[in-house]
Structure 1
């Protein structure tokens, strides 16, 4: 039985305005479906409130066909349109659909850009930060250990739970939009201690020490454990921010991993026993040379032609160190004619990269540094693309299916070399 506090009852009863009433109605239905007994308070919400392509707004043309109508009737599942209040707390907008400056290069029309620009102004007017990234923790929103959050975006969720030790389920735009207004989310799943304990032990027998290796390990684990929690131990090293964002993104793509433990690395797994908390280990999984090679082959199964006409980096959005690496590999060189290079990052990180000169070096070589989106989210690739090269297991998983192209997976250096030569020469060492 769901129990409400007096404040929650006031919101549900309409005493705190129509928006809070409708948001609580949605969240109560959500909590009952989950079997949650109460709500937790959250002041850290990351979603995509109110933003929509014009075709979705057209579905609500009788209600104004605008941002307000989408927020009320689509996000909050309300039967009427009302004013949306200015948000309090830490509310942010995750990735959007297009780069605010390079939208033409991405193939968008002026009308589509005008619609996106209008949505962004409406979002800002509600005191929602337009971070426009899948890595909010790299753009000024890094929750504290134990903090209850309500986040969308699979790669951000798994990083939030595992690396930062904050607490969130993988939410949708409906629950996050409602949580921005009410500061409530059901007390279920990863908000609860008992749900955060490990299920499977993964023993790593081969060295995993860079984003290429971490991405493959994540992809292998995700396929096996699906939505359960792996505890990883063994020959792992250099588990830095970049490596862990690629690992988590891969595990959340091949499976549905929302949390993992790395023994001696992540905050809730100082030792193996702590990660399991007394639970029985469901299975022991080995990752050795054979598993590594099979994973590499699986990721490259969609690659046939070695003629590469598109290289995409920055999934999840590139950190400043990754842009420095790309600039170093491209410095003084030129891309192959007929091969495009798009690197995706957040606005926040791009500003840093511009100040350090990395963006200019990449642009001089013929590449573009884009923000706010990625090729899979935007379903945007250079015109005529048939074969892509990627250093992200997540993007390799999604992009060929979304866009009907071939794809190669390899190291960042493999991908930059393909951009310079127009040929895929990556191989597993």
Structure 2
């Protein structure tokens, strides 16, 4: 793999042992991928602060320098970690201090995370604590090379923003943060960013739920490739594209999609396929829509709902506002809890706008930093939950061993108020 002079100097220790270890990791990673070179990145989104038993042990043995070396650089050397070379943010992690007595989450994890935030903040990591960094100020430019983790963030960066990133891991983002480099392969290269599958929509898709179901279908069709969507669709907003992408990355491994006339690299159908003739389209009509809905609801059997989860990926201000409006003047069932997950920066906006007060007056909670899937934490005794997220309907039953209902925001709020699931496909 070709290295320029700057990269060779980092490899040879000119910027210290930690940067040399990071460059060694990236060279090995790139060689495994047959990458010809590294590319420059100025935007890294990874995970460093989230608690775990392994991390707690490493911190006891050698502090946060040791934990970063082992987990984020795949190195057993005693390294002193310098400040991040390029702008770097922490994605969602565990719950914070304000979740005590609300979420059944260990206090020692909260304390460990607070210690991590202090260390990494001093080393140039912005603690955004969200799976949607693009909602709180981390907005890479079109064509900008990034090193991001988190499937729903990656697909949004590639598709909606037109930035360039593969779905990276803990070690590769750790190494990128110290070097400003990442192997130039996959979604970083022009020839790999064209559409591979054509999905033609033959049933109207014009709301949050339907964009999620269409995304779930697209992921099943495209797998790890790039679907192109045309047909009877409305012009989606931020939350609908967020929901679509999260679902496509869940049912498949989609990291990039195109919607001609909407996503930046596809002004028309021909551009989406790089000038090649589009393949035979796969239809998405009423039968396919119903099949997706039934798949997302196949684990639900009991009509009694213990828990309602909203905000996956983390909610926008508009989603928080709509939830507050639906809860205004209502009170949750004594047998049901409702958690709405949001970035902490947007929770502050909700606090100041009065939305949090309305939500809490109904007995629900607006929580930040994490989610039940990431922290493996739901209300004690939860057997059945309801959600408007196709992603969580897919994942949480396996993670927590509970039943799931998938529906609209209105149906989920109704389930929280009545304690019963009354949803259905219209």
TM-score bucket (shorter structure):
over 0.9
Greater shift, 270-279 or 27-36, is seen at 270-279
The yes-or-no answer on 1:378 pairing with 2:380 is: no
**Cα distance, 1:223 vs. partner?**
1.1
Equivalent residue of 1:164, what SS? coil
Alpha carbons 1:50, 1:71 under 8 Å: kept:
no
Residue 334 of structure 1 aligns with which residue? 331
- Aligned to 1:56, the other structure's residue is in SS state helix
Distance between the aligned counterparts of 2:277 and 2:17, measured in 1?
Answer: 47
Partner of 1:196: 193
Q: Which residue of 2 aligns with 1:38?
A: 37
Q: Partner of 1:126 in structure 2?
A: 123
Q: Give a deviation string over 1:164-207, Cα, whole Å, max 9, x none.
A: 00000000010001100000001100000000000010000111
Matches of 2:73 and 2:157 in 1, distance apart? Answer: 25
Partners of 1:306 and 1:376 lie apart in 2 by 22
Match of 2:80 in 1: 83
Q: How far did residue 211 of structure 1 move?
A: 1.1
Task: Give runs of ≥4 in structure 1 deviating > 6 Å.
Answer: none
Deviation at 1:74, TM superposition (A): 2.1
**2:311 equivalent to 1:311:** no
In the TM superposition, 1:9-48 aligns within 5 A as 9-48=8-47
1:99, 1:370 within 8 Å by CA — same for their partners in 2?
no
State the match for 1:268 in structure 2.
265
The TM-score, its normalising length taken from structure 1, stands at: 0.97
2:181 aligned partner: 184
Per-residue displacement from partner, 1:206-255 (whole Å, max 9, x unpaired)? 11111100000000111121101000001111311000000000000000
The counterpart of 1:227, out of the listed 224, 229, 241, is 224
Task: Give the CA deviation at 1:103.
Answer: 3.4
Question: How far has the Cα of 1:280 moved from its partner?
Answer: 4.8
Q: Which residue of 1 aligns with 2:143?
A: 146
Matches within 5 A, 1:16-415: 16-49=15-48, 51-58=50-57, 63-64=61-62, 66-415=63-412
Alpha-carbon deviation of 1:109? Answer: 2.7
Structure 2 segments unaligned to the other structure (5+ residues): none
Please tell me whether the aligned partners of residues 206 and 288 of structure 1 are also in contact (alpha carbons under 8 angstroms).
Answer: yes
8 Å Cα contact 2:22-2:178 kept in structure 1: yes
Contact 1:210 1:238 in 2 (8 A): no
Q: Deviations over 1:64-123 (max 9, x none)?
A: 2x3211101221111312111112432100000113311332112322221111111111
Query: What TM-score do you get using the length of structure 2 for normalisation?
Result: 0.98
Matched residues in 2 for 1:229 and 1:283: separation? 14
8 Å CA contact 2:131–2:153 kept in 1: the answer is: yes
How many residues are matched? 426
The gaps in structure 1 that reach 5 residues or longer are none
Q: What's the CA shift for 1:51?
A: 4.2
Q: Aligned with 1:318: secondary structure?
A: coil
CA RMSD, Structure 1 to Structure 2 (Å): 1.2
CA contact (8 A) 1:40 1:185 kept: yes
Aligned partners of 2:96 and 2:110 also within 8 Å:
no
Instruction: Report the Cα distance in structure 1 between the residues aligned to 2:81 and 2:103, rounded to whole angstroms.
Output: 32
Is contact 2:270-2:276 (8 Å) kept?
A: no
